[in-house]
Structure 1
């Protein structure tokens, strides 16, 4: 039988938070998981795209 997806379930990652860039960043801060400095920054392009969606609810 083919595996069926459950409706309404939210994907969670290894940190136990919903998959979104903001949530992942905040979870890493709380956990204290560090990265090398060159991998640490978020690009201006992706950050501005994130900001456009802040406060908007999904339908």
Structure 2
């Protein structure tokens, strides 16, 4: 008997990567401007500096 996987409203299995890719394919991915990461945190990511 095959098990059915739960799918979210984007129609994909729940995982961060699947959600990002599904949004990208639908053309509704968030730009950096509308992102939820602060600019200073993003700069730390780019420089690879964490406390």
State the TM-score, normalizing by the size of structure 2: 0.52
Consecutive unaligned residues of structure 2, counting only runs of 5 or more, are 38-44, 46-51
Unaligned runs of 5+ in 1: 1-6, 45-59
Query: Would you say how many aligned residue pairs link Structure 1 and Structure 2?
Result: 34
CA shift at 1:34, angstroms?
3.3
Deviations 1:17-59 (A, max 9, x none): 11111100000000011331x326xxx7xxxxxxxxxxxxxxx
Matched, 1:34 2:29: yes
Q: Give structure 1 regions of 4+ aligned residues with deviation exceeding 6 angstroms.
A: none
Q: Could you tell me which of 10, 14, 25 is aligned with 1:15?
A: 10
Cα RMSD, aligned residues only: 2.3
